[in-house]
Amino acid sequence: MAYVIGAACIDVMDRSCMEECPVDCIYEGDRKLYIHPDECIDCGACELACPTEAIVSDRQADAVHKQDNRQFFQITLPGRAEPLGSPGGSRKIGVVGVDTPPVSSV
């Protein structure tokens, strides 16, 4: 089980979750944050820190946001040469600055 960030994060991005994440698995797009499903250790610290309640366990997430969260790391995002894959922490790459097509089109 990992955690998923939903629509309540779009255009808000409080980043409290990033500060609480002990493994640095929350990445910043342009309008939304994304949790890497393979880097997440399921501690739940991000869920408790989120003021908009945008973070839920993947078992509770709707299929659209669960897929969107995973695709952020699997597809080649606009303006990038290749998928992010598993960089091993968001601090290594900094702000990605682009979102998945479903978030960009909202």
Q: What is the CATH number of the domain that holds 23?
A: 3.30.70.20
Residue 101 covered by a domain: no
Asked if residue 1 has pLDDT above 70, the reply is: no
Read off the pLDDT of residues 22-63 as tens digits, 9 standing for 90 and up. 999 999 999 999 999 999 999 999 999 999 999 999 999 989
pLDDT digits (tens, 9 = 90+) for 57-101: 999 998 998 999 999 999 999 999 999 999 999 999 999 999 999
Residue 102 covered by a domain: no
Is 98 within a domain? no
With left for phi above 0 and alpha for psi between -120 and 50, is residue 7 left, alpha or beta?
A: alpha
Alpha helices in 1-106 (DSSP H): 16-20, 45-49, 63-74, 90-93, 101-104
What range defines the domain where residue 32 resides? 3-88
pTM equals 0.94
